[in-house]
Amino acid sequence: MNRKVPLAVCFIFGVVMFIQYFSQHPTARFVYKSILDYWQIIFAFTLILGIISFVNNNISQIKRGNNTFYRIVAISGFLIMPVVALGWGIKTGSPFMWMFENVQAPMQSTVFALLAFFVASASYRGFRARSIPATILLLSALIILLSRSNIGGIFSDYLPNIADWIRNYPSMSARRAILIGIGLGSLTTSLRVIIGIERTWLGKD
């Protein structure tokens, strides 16, 4: 029963969504719109699940004394933002907006910017011409980097054209092959899930 009901629900919704795509009948439109509404409602519930999981995980780690200070900061941030949003609103000049612009956004940007330092270090250590494919990759990367860094036009005008060629032919053909593979893979997996051949999403029991 635990497996049959979800499989039946999945099959019915899969077939209904497939059929409605080809129909303009008012009933089909109504079903489609209702499913779109419920889809968003279900997703909103997953956000609640994420919140509960975040709080539970941090509280249990605090009890164990694992990174207590950082976890208190995380929970404080989690509590403060909704409180100030509910208390003073989210308009310009509100404490919520101030905290978002002066605390959250700069912190996230700073963490993201650290990537540049790691890329610089990795380029020195890892980007080596050890084989012919590695050398081709290295040369392509150098051309792309140079074409994107044309300070004062110090490099040749041909450089952006070569970089565009790399982007439009070798890079795009590889990307297209990947996209077609993903598309075919998604299609077959969806069909297997709808028909009930693929059951791993149900869990073990």
Partner 1 sequence: MKHLKSRHWIFLGLFLVIGITMILNVKLNVRVSPYTQKMFDYIDSLPPGSILLISFDHEASSLPEIRPLALAVLRHAFKKDLRLIGVSLLSEGTVIGYRLMQKTAKEYHKVYGKDYVYLGFRPQYVAAILSMGESLKETYPQDYLGNKYDQLNLLKSVKNYNNIDAVISIADGSLTTHWIEYGHGRYGVKILGAVTAAMVTTYDPYLASGQMYAMTGGLRGAAEYEELLKISGGGARGMLAQSSAHLYVIFLIIVGNLSYFITKRKGRK
Binding site for partner 1 (CB under 8 A): 29, 32-33, 36-37, 39-40, 42-44, 47, 90-92, 97, 100-101, 104-105, 108-109, 111-113, 116-117, 119-121, 123-125, 127-130, 138, 141-142, 145-146, 148-153, 157, 160, 164, 167-168, 171-172, 175-176, 179
Identify which of residues 42 and 132 has a Cβ nearer to partner 1 in the complex: 42
Whole-angstrom Cα distance, residue 176 to residue 56? Answer: 43
Whole-angstrom Cα distance, residue 78 to residue 26? Answer: 44
Identify which of residues 45 and 69 has a Cβ nearer to partner 1 in the complex: 45
Work out the burial of residue 26: count CB atoms within 10 Å of its CB; fewer than 13 is exposed, 13-18 middle, 19 or more buried. Answer: exposed
Smallest separation (angstroms) from partner 1 to the CB of 110: 9
C-alpha to C-alpha distances, 1 to 4, 8, 9, 72, nearest whole angstrom: 5, 10, 12, 43
Closest CA to 85 of 107, 100, 65: 100
Smallest separation (angstroms) from partner 1 to the CB of 119: 7
Smallest separation (angstroms) from partner 1 to the CB of 44: 5
Smallest separation (angstroms) from partner 1 to the CB of 173: 9
Instruction: Determine the residue type at 39.
Output: W
Q: Is the four-CA dihedral 103, 112, 40, 198 of positive or negative sign? A: negative
Identify which of residues 160 and 196 has a Cβ nearer to partner 1 in the complex: 160
Smallest separation (angstroms) from partner 1 to the CB of 177: 10
Identify which of residues 2 and 110 has a Cβ nearer to partner 1 in the complex: 110
Do the beta carbons of residue 143 and residue 164 sit within 8 Å? no
What is the SS3 assignment for 191? Answer: helix
Identify which of residues 19 and 197 has a Cβ nearer to partner 1 in the complex: 19
